[in-house]
Amino acid sequence: MRGSGKVHRLTVTAALAVGVVAALGAQALAATATTSTASAGRPAAVQPRAVGGLDCNGLSPIQRPVKNGFMCADPRGPYGGRFYENGHYIGHDEPSVRFLSGRRGSGSNVTMAETLPRDPFAKPTVSHPGNDNTHWFELSIAPWLSITVCDPNSAPLAPCKPRSDSNAPRGNFQGGGAAFVELQFYPPGFAPFSDSISCDNTHWCSALNIDSLECTGDGSGPCNNNCVEPVNFGFIQTNGVPTGPPSPQLSNLATVTPNSRTLLMNPGDKITVRMFDAKIPGGHALEARETDLTTGKSGFMIASAANGFMNTSPFSCKGHPFNFQPEYSTARAQNIIPWGIGPYMINSQFEIGHFEPCTFVQGKVSGVKDTTFTTCRGPYEKTKDTSAAFEPDDSPCYRAGDTHGGTAPPNLVTGCDVFDDAIGDLDYDGSGYYPDWPDSTTASKFPSPFLQHEPTSGGHPYPRFQFMTDASATEFNTKCNLTTGHGCVMPPKGPGHFYPFWTQAKVGGSCVWEFGNMTNGKDYGRDAQYGTVRPTTMGAFVGPILRDRGCGRGH
């Protein structure tokens, strides 16, 4: 989310280099050439093109973003725990459940079975917040499963040994260099993906999204403002071949445009998802593999140099072909992404606060390939957006029926993606902060939920779990203190007075996790499940670690 504010500025080649050397010495520089590299020969660095993914927040001063509104990881920063980039606040609202295990391999090999949700048959409505026909693209633009991978060129800019718990932060050691993987799922209904949310109006699709952070320390040190948060991106493909170059330096329109080999999944399909360290010619790399048990189709993506994946120089923003590998052996509590808000690692998450339905839109934006608008009007827009509230507008906004220049099926509703000038809904007046979430396993006025089975690693379950959300970082209207927790409230202060929550329930004979407004199982206190913001929670609402005893038994 963006807004006005100070920025941690530096001269790229001087201040960042000084910060790295002062913090880590020559060891950090050597790590960029020795850990998980693509080959011993170290191919020549790749210069960034004029358009690409150098910054998933779209704020690089040297490169235009290939896609506005990439769903990024949420860094921790030096300003009260909040992260600012090039004059803008960066943050997201990512409620999740984290799975923990001390078993070897649980941090590098995770499998989950799930049933994809269905939307209501009727189109979305915009007249009665809290009781409108609502589709999944309005609630969460990117549900994801996560894992952490080694990247010595990413914060804390330190060597990283793949599949090793030695990378965990401890004492004065801020952790091994790490990137965060989000295996993201994109709901149908608001295409095209290249400048909006969906692959099309009828299918779910997914992509491997890897975010690095070109800063020293845990994100609080100097950053390279030309490439603060570079992103590698690749759709899950039936043949494993990216639709376009996945790297931050070379990604283009083809990268973010599905093709005939993109794995498309129907609402209601039963699928399995696995992320693991795959053996490839010359080494290993993370593989994300999905199998649609309903249709028999499958797809995969390997985050390898051979596939065009690259890590990014924190000094020059140039790319180097790179094999990303899982960072940890186990999913113990101390094994986290070292620069994130909250202790994320093996998580199931729903990114919310990125859509606002409208009666009509205003503020036409000219000079772009697609007609967009900046301002939402209707029952959801209770107060005027202002830069003082860190949400200057709701852009990009589109009218119902818009085909985006004939490149996509007509949009189902007039609405705003709220990720252009704000990257999120800081006044909490969009669909995600009303109780229009799944409240039944059958879609009616609201959609049905994801039904996510207990994850496993090598056939073994994760015996503990923990709820968390970084909504605290977006709570400017209560002056939430990310260190003490003072002023942090749940649900966030908005007109809907609602925040979705996790439920563990028995459905069709299986114990599953649901997310929304479900009452058919154990809800762990609804909003109370997220716990509190404390000095030990890295700025997030974090609940206690709980033992998973399954459905129908005590906790």
Residue-wise pLDDT for 438-481, tens only, equals: 999 999 999 999 999 999 999 999 999 999 999 999 998 888 99
Non-local (6+) Cβ contacts of 83 within 8 A are: 74, 75, 76, 77, 89, 90, 91, 219
Note whether 208 and 183 are within 8 A (CB).
yes
DSSP 3-state percent helix, strand, coil across the chain (nearest 5): 10, 30, 60
Which pLDDT band, with edges at 50, 70 and 90, does 385 fall under?
confident
The 10s digit of each residue's pLDDT in 80-93 is 889 988 888 888 89
**Strand locations in 499-555 (E):** 501-507, 510-516, 532-533, 541-542, 546-547
Which pLDDT band, with edges at 50, 70 and 90, does 28 fall under?
very low
Exposure string of 165-188, with b = 16+ CB inside 10 Å and e = fewer, is bebbbeeeebbbbbbbbbbbbbbb
And the tokens for 463? 């015996």
Q: What is the pLDDT of residue 425?
A: 86
Which pLDDT band, with edges at 50, 70 and 90, does 382 fall under?
confident
Which pLDDT band, with edges at 50, 70 and 90, does 491 fall under?
very high
Q: Is 297 exposed, middle or buried (0-12, 13-18, 19+ CB in 10 A)?
A: middle
Q: Is the pLDDT of residue 418 over 90?
A: no
The 10s digit of each residue's pLDDT in 45-74 is 999 999 999 999 999 999 999 997 888 999
High-pLDDT (> 70) share of the chain, %: 90
Q: Is 79 exposed, middle or buried (0-12, 13-18, 19+ CB in 10 A)?
A: middle
Non-local (6+) Cβ contacts of 440 within 8 A are: 446, 448, 518
Give the whole-angstrom CA distance, residue 350 versus residue 72.
13
Give the whole-angstrom CA distance, residue 250 versus residue 54.
9
